[in-house]
Structure 1
Amino acid sequence: KFSPKDITAYTFELPASPFSADTKGVIDIERIKYKIKELSKLSDILIIEGAGGLMVPIKRDYMMIDLIEELGAKTLLITPSNLGCINDTMLSIEALERRGIDFDWCVNLYRDRDDFNRVTAPFYNSHFDSWWLLDEGLDNFIKNL
């Protein structure tokens, strides 16, 4: 069994972006990459959870998407289901595609399904060949990857 210290390079008190939470300036990107490399030796598949989103700063000029790109990690983009989610989803997909990052994506359906089906799903259905709803929990979703 692992503790949070076993699986993270850093923890901070402030629930904010790593850049903002790191009030002492201790974050070292190489340490993060080393921790990920060491953890990947312990399993066949390693799921790395980012903090917040693709453009969340880890350091002043280094974002989550930079780490993903440097790791060459396949990405699971989980988008919101609230009003405005089409914009968030399209911007994130564009950023991943622009950098040539391999990804799958799904919608975290934590809002009203009827509203989502009426407001957002028509666009996704017309724009994408396939997309997934994460409405039965992450475990069921991962089984189907």
Structure 2
Amino acid sequence: MSQQRIFITGIGTGVGKSLISAIVTEALQADYWKPIQAGLDEGTDAGTVKNLISNEVTQIHPEAYRLKMPASPHIAAAAENITIDINKIQQSIPKSNNPYLIIEGAGGLMVPINQQQFIADIITTLQTPVILVSRNYLGSINHSLLTAKVCKDLNIKVIGWIFNDHYLQYEQEIVNWSGIPYIGNIPFTENPNHWFVQKQAAKIKARLLELL
């Protein structure tokens, strides 16, 4: 059986991609991989996911690029005289027997990874369907619909939306306007832990499997 890869991207930075990645990873007992990690002083997203999951199946795979500066990948890479190469990322895709691999992006679709390419180019190169993470805040309708439009323009297959936190009742409007299915809503918590991730994973699992 071939491995199904799922790319987790968001409508911007700080929308909770790592938390959602942990929840989806737990729901599918998938492997996890973040190709580009920028900013190492406060820990890594891979480390966050490792601490949040509790199943004994998931493997956390090492990053293709580990960059010290907490900045856009192209800036962080340039500070170390590195140019991020999509071919290297493609060649670094982890190999395992797990039927699912969760791939977490950096920021949103149009975050630059070098002077010519963006996170969206990684997705199109790997030909990986995406889960879109939208955080509920004032302005997120615009950011959500712009993200959906980029996916449509680039022919990126979208599995569905996961909404993080709760602000106003406009999730269904974003679903309707974008034409992208609803997977679930993750409530706000100040201190997510593996119990929280387990509960949320169980909540979205059936819908997630339905859409895959």
Q: TM-score, normalised by structure 2?
A: 0.56
- Aligned 8 A contact 2:183 2:207 in 1: no
CA distance change for structure 1 residues 143 and 47 in 2, over 3 Å: closer, same or farther? farther
1:18-42 deviation line (CA, Å, top 9, x unaligned): 1011112322221111111xx1444
Q: Give unpaired runs (5+ residues) of structure 1.
A: none
**What's the offset of the Cα at 1:121?**
3.5
- After the TM superposition, which of the residue ranges 23-32 and 80-89 deviates more from structure 2? 23-32
Alignment RMSD, CA only?
2.8
**What's the offset of the Cα at 1:105?**
2.9
Paired AA for residue 106 in structure 1: W
- Aligned 8 A contact 2:128 2:157 in 1: yes
**What's the offset of the Cα at 1:125?**
6.1
- Aligned 8 A contact 1:79 1:105 in 2: no
After the TM superposition, which residues 33-112 of structure 1 pair with which residues of structure 2 at under 5 Å, given as runs? 33-36=90-93, 39-110=94-165
Q: 1:25 corresponds to which residue?
A: 81
**What's the offset of the Cα at 1:13?**
1.5
- Aligned 8 A contact 2:144 2:174 in 1: no
- Aligned 8 A contact 1:19 1:59 in 2: yes
1:49-90 deviation line (CA, Å, top 9, x unaligned): 000010001111100001101111011111121110111111
More helix by share: 1
Which of 116, 123, 128 is the matching residue for 2:173?
Answer: 123
CA distance change for structure 1 residues 32 and 116 in 2, over 3 Å: closer, same or farther? same
Paired AA for residue 87 in structure 1: N
- Aligned 8 A contact 1:109 1:134 in 2: yes
Q: Give unpaired runs (5+ residues) of structure 2.
A: 1-31, 33-45, 48-59, 188-196
Q: Whose relative contact order is higher, 1 or 2, with alpha carbons under 8 Å and at least 6 apart? A: 2
- CA distance in structure 1 between the aligned counterparts of 2:138 and 2:67, rounded to whole angstroms: 31
Paired AA for residue 182 in structure 2: W
List structure 1 segments (4+ residues) > 6 angstroms apart after TM superposition: 2-5
**What's the offset of the Cα at 1:7?**
2.1
2:195 equivalent to 1:144 = no
1:77-108 deviation line (CA, Å, top 9, x unaligned): 11121110111111110100111111123243
Identity of aligned residues (%): 26
- Aligned 8 A contact 1:124 1:131 in 2: no
Q: Give the total of aligned pairs.
A: 138
More strand by share: 2
